[in-house]
Amino acid sequence: MQQPEQRDEVEMLSLMLLIRRFEERASQQYQAQKIGGFCHLYIGQEAVVVGVVSAARPDDYLITAYRDHAHALARGTSANACMAELFGKATGCSRGLGGSMHYFDKERHMYGGHAIVGAHVPLAVGMAFASKYRGEDRVTLCFFGDGAINQGAFHEALNLAALYKLPIVFICENNLFAMGTSVERSTSLKEIVDRAEGYDIPGTVVDGMNFREVRDKMAEIIGSIRRDPHPAFAEIRTYRYRGHSMSDPASYRTKEQLEKFRLDDPITRLRAQLTREGKLTNEQFDIMDKGAKETALASVKFAEESPDPPLEELYDYTYVSEARA
C-alpha cells in the first residue's frame, strides 16, 4: 500500500503532466487561430505552481499574473473550463469574458489572472489583510514574474505587508526574462531575493525545476506564516521553454541555455525520482501521460462545442445588481 505522501507525489506528477499537455494543446489551437489575443504558456515551469499548491491548503488565497493557466489547473479548475476560456466560450472559467490572461475560479480560491504587471500584488496584500482582519489562518499565495519586481506597485505592496505583518508569501517565478529583457538588463540587484531584505521580509531561493524542493521549502514557509502571521518572499528559479507569448520566437536567448534547462526538466526529474524509489513504473507513467493528453484533447472538443456567451448578456457584468448580490 502506498504512503499518503507517495500517492501525493504521483498525483502531483500527474498534475504537472496535465498542465504540460494542456499548454501544448493551447499552443496548437492558438496556431490554428481558435484562440484570440495573447497566450502565455507555462511549459517548463510546472514544478513551481504544483509544488506551491501541494504545500498549501485548498482554501489559501491564490493570485497570479497573466501566465495563469497552470495556476487554475493546479487549483482544480477543469481543463474543459480552462480551454473554453481560451476559446472565449460561456463555459469558460471566466465565462469567456476574461480570456487567457484573466482566469478566475472563486470556488477554488483562485483570484486571477491579472495582466497589468505588478498591479495584482497590492490586491494580494489586501486579501491577506482580510484574513488577518477576520482572524483566519489562511495564507495568501501571491505569484508574479521577475518582470514585476521593478514596478512601484510591487514595492508599495511589500512595504505594506511587512508594516501590517500580513500572512502572505510573495512568490517570484524567476524565469530569467521579463518578456525579452533578461534580469541582468532590468534589475539593479544580482539576486532578486535581496529585494525582500529591503522590506525586512525573510527571503528564500528555491530551485523551481525540482518539485520536491519547491514543496518542502514552501511547506516550511507557509507553516511558519500560519503559526505567526508575517510576510515571506520566495524566489523560485525556473525557465519557460517557449517564448514570452505565442508570437515570440525568443531570439534573445541561446539554444544552449534552453537545452541546459530542458535537461533539468521538472517532469523528467520527478519521474526519475519516483521510478528510482520504486514508487512509479514506466507503465504507470505512460498511462498517466496518455490520460493527460486525452484530457487536453477532450477539452478542445468541449471548448469547440460550447456556446458563445449570449449577446444579450453584454451589459450584465458591468455592475452587479441588487438581485445578484
Q: What does the binding site for other proteins look like in residue numbers (CB under 8 A)?
A: 61, 63, 92-98, 102, 104-106, 111-114, 116, 119-131, 133, 152-153, 156-157, 159-160, 163, 316-320, 322, 324-325
10 Å CB burial of residue 164 (0-12, 13-18, 19+) is middle
User: Minimum distance from CB of 73 to other proteins (Å)?
Assistant: 17
Q: Which is nearer to other proteins, 131 or 187 (CB)?
A: 131
Q: Which is nearer to other proteins, 22 or 61 (CB)?
A: 61
User: Minimum distance from CB of 87 to other proteins (Å)?
Assistant: 14
d(CA 51, CA 13): 10
Cβ proximity of 18 and 46 under 8 Å: no
Chain centre distance of CA 8: 19
Say which DSSP state 284 is in.
Answer: H
Torsion sign (Cα): 220, 223, 227, 231: positive
User: Minimum distance from CB of 266 to other proteins (Å)?
Assistant: 29
d(CA 228, CA 84): 40
d(CA 128, CA 263): 37
Q: Grid coordinates in use for 136?
A: 483566519
User: Minimum distance from CB of 311 to other proteins (Å)?
Assistant: 15
List the helix and strand counts (H, then E) for the chain.
12, 8
Instruction: Indicate the residue type of 299.
Output: S
Q: Which is nearer to other proteins, 137 or 264 (CB)?
A: 137
As beta bridge partners, residue 233 has 170, 203
User: Minimum distance from CB of 320 to other proteins (Å)?
Assistant: 4
Q: Which is nearer to other proteins, 102 or 215 (CB)?
A: 102
d(CA 247, CA 253): 15
User: Minimum distance from CB of 240 to other proteins (Å)?
Assistant: 24
d(CA 169, CA 139): 7
Q: Which is nearer to other proteins, 103 or 211 (CB)?
A: 103
**Cα angle vertex 48, ends 93, 97, to 5°?**
15
Among 14, 29, 9, 13, smallest CA distance to 246 is for 29
User: Minimum distance from CB of 115 to other proteins (Å)?
Assistant: 9
Q: Which is nearer to other proteins, 162 or 292 (CB)?
A: 162
Q: Which is nearer to other proteins, 3 or 321 (CB)?
A: 321
Q: Which is nearer to other proteins, 166 or 300 (CB)?
A: 166
User: Minimum distance from CB of 182 to other proteins (Å)?
Assistant: 25
User: Minimum distance from CB of 285 to other proteins (Å)?
Assistant: 36
Cβ proximity of 169 and 231 under 8 Å: yes
Q: Which is nearer to other proteins, 167 or 208 (CB)?
A: 167
Chain centre distance of CA 312: 33
